[in-house]
Amino acid sequence: RMSRHAKKLRDHDTNPCVAETDATTKCMNDNNYNKDLCTDYFLKYKNCRKFWHEIMMQRKRNGVKPEMPSAEERKKILESMG
């Protein structure tokens, strides 16, 4: 059984970077945990977290709730950016 924290990390509405997390984990598993071979994956994850954190902080400043856009909303945000 997954803990509440683990479930939250798997929830696409609260974690915008589930795909990047999974890709990084898969790379690490496939490459015997050699971080050097997974640098691109770590970078994509880091960029994802940074991007959505900035969006979240902006929404917080503007009083928008919820601070993290839902998965559906995030898809629209990304599409509007091209």
Q: Report pLDDT digits (tens) over 21-76.
A: 999 999 999 999 999 999 999 999 999 999 999 999 999 999 999 999 999 999 99
Residue 13 CB-density burial (10 A; 0-12 exposed, 13-18 middle, 19+ buried): middle
Q: Is 50 inside any structural domain?
A: yes
What's the predicted TM-score (pTM) here?
A: 0.84
Residue 17 CB-density burial (10 A; 0-12 exposed, 13-18 middle, 19+ buried): buried
Give the pLDDT band of residue 3 (cuts 50, 70, 90): confident
Q: Is 26 inside any structural domain?
A: yes
Q: Is 22 inside any structural domain?
A: yes
- Counting the structural domains of the chain, the total is 1
Q: Is 39 inside any structural domain?
A: yes
Q: Is 3 inside any structural domain?
A: no
